[in-house]
Structure 1
Amino acid sequence: MTSPATLILAVACLVAPTLPAFAQDADSKCASEGWPTKPDAEFAADCVDTAFNGSLEERERLAWMFFTRVNQLIADPAKGGMSGKDRVPVWMAWPTDPDTFGSTRPFFENYSGNAPVPRTVMKPSTEKKDLQSGSVATADPDGANEEVTRNRISYDYLTRSGLTTKLDVAAFFADNDYVDMPVGSVELKASWLQVTEGSPAPDGALTFKFDSGEYWWRGLHIMVKMQSLENPGDVFYSEEPSWFWTTFEFNDNPGVAHVRDKLITQRAPLPAAEIAAVLAAGGLENFGFENYAPNGTQIRFTVDGSGDTPVILGHTDMEDFAGSPNTAQPQYWNRFEASCHSCHATAAYNPETKAFFPFSVPTGALHPGYNKSDKAGTVQYLGQGYKSLDFMWPIAFQSH
């Protein structure tokens, strides 16, 4: 009998002639054999040139490759899998924010041998309304039910560097000028919505039965550290890329087509056949992942790094606060002020005041005078002693 791994490699070989030029280039390692399951640091290093020097089409395909990698399927004996298919994406067995910042037990002790064990409990991170008001909460999430998860590279760096409590963050910055996450770090944020009699899951959406009820999966943010900056402390202002950003959304989310077509700035949708080939290379064909797609990609503050035109990238549910005129109705938005890179770049800590920079949602390039009022009403300026957290808002949100 042919093994699943052999079948995956056979499919990858069959679809190779349909891959774009960068994948066929002898000098490119990004789409080489075995890419769906390469170690994260190796894959990031192999694909950094594609991510930061490739065309929009090449970046879009890389987004699908990352989506394929984080959605590698594992057994789910306890809950019966996504949409009852006995399997779930591997990220559903990764440590969440509460596992990383609210636990003293090493997360990977939860693994059975080397096999990841999917969680059965919904573990959301923060309330958007609290973030907007300058405060942070980890309980009673709003209707978005957003879960942040991370791979082992990211988890190990955060826990071993002492970046999971406010006291330890202060100690870290007594000896360091900035956070510099390792290459291969992967951070995800998933959006779920509970299925009820009055709010059923839409056709084609993937679902999962947590202990608290059934939820349907609305989308997934993906951020991957591809390289360190020449000066890692220059995150606030440098147009040199270091992270790769993309956000996948269920294709029939209300208003998503309008937002993608009219408001997102850097998109290059792939033909259905090419999407199917990428998913098949990772063994994900006919599972339902084809009903999701990236809204776009981002690698820096502004288009071409010129400083003139902000890159707009976000998700209609996870960044609904950035849409106007009515945040609840993206099909009518005429403005969408969302930027993964710009927003995360302001994740910072001031060693003198022992305060995190207030959460905000800027677009475009930043400067030292960029400011935001904290929950006490005091205006904080980014250039007044704040040190970079390397785009890692979870450190600020979850460290207590």
Structure 2
Amino acid sequence: MTLLEVDQLTLAYGRHLVVDLLDFALEKGSIGCLLGPSGCGKTTVLRAIAGFERVHGGSIRIGAEQVSGTGVHIPPERRRIGMVFQDYALFPHLTIRDNIGFGLHRADAGTRSRRVDAMLELVGLGPQAQRFPHELSGGQQQRVALARALAPAPDLLLMDEPFSNLDVELRERLSLEVRAILKETGTTAILVTHDQNEAFAVADVIGLMHDGALQQWDTPYNLYHKPVNRFVADFIGQGVLIPGRIIGENQVKIALGTLRSELPMDCGPLGICPPGSDVDVLLRPDDVVHDDASEQTAVVTNKAFRGADILYTLELDNGVKLLSLVPSHHNHALGERIGIRLNVDHVITFFEPARLPESELDS
């Protein structure tokens, strides 16, 4: 069942178009994410869903009700939406218990008390109930903000960069905790972030935005392994685009050999790529495997130690550079030549690169 539907949404500030013809839908109980660089329009979309911004075109539906559209604007307080803000927005003069119960003023005292108790237990802050926000850590304050937003049982929860004020380690741990809490309560939620690690940790489905347009609305797995365009391929994860040429049905030749795809490769206006088409081929670091027994070699030009792994930048004899993620016990020096082979499960190609001489495809 679809709980949130955004249809042809257009938003602008004066004559400046911020969001253009945005479309996506979110199922009840799912966690969605709007991901993208600063200025792409993701927070403006969140504010429009909340009712803080009026739309210039299109519509927003929550459940069976249209809440935004031409001539329609349901105010925020009537949308049954919860909000978690970047700066927590807790009341400093209220205890944690009173902060969580703030939105339950219409409930009787007994119902309110039981609901607050349940929220405190849910976020693991029962012992801190009588403390004040300044007495808690950043992670604890964020859990209070989440409990306060969930206490009225909203139809939809909106989270605007909720972890950006936290250090990296706490951010990673809290993002997993928040996902577990949302799944336990069956809450439908939308997260806005510029951090793909947060998006991957929390969301079931992610919409990558760029310049006010939605580039791809898909699962984290598909965004990484099946990007629909170059922007998605570049923004999500790491990888390089290397030149290739279509040499037959579902086959593309690159400097490291021939790759075979399970699906036909798309060449845009040409449809399925005919033989001879020039393409760029996306290779992720996990596609390039270190193998001492391989006859194909590359030179280590850079390395980034990551604990369990090392991310190597490698250069082929023809100058093409690759990335390879290798277990860190394979510790090679800069300038060292190492054996490599490809292990590509998903062949991703993009049409219309600059045409290259045939010799540049040869290893």
- TM-score where L is the length of structure 2: 0.25
- TM-score where L is the length of structure 1: 0.23
Pick 1 or 2: higher relative contact order, CA cutoff 8 A, min separation 6: 1
Name the one with the larger strand percent: 2
Which is higher, the Rg of structure 1 or of structure 2?
2
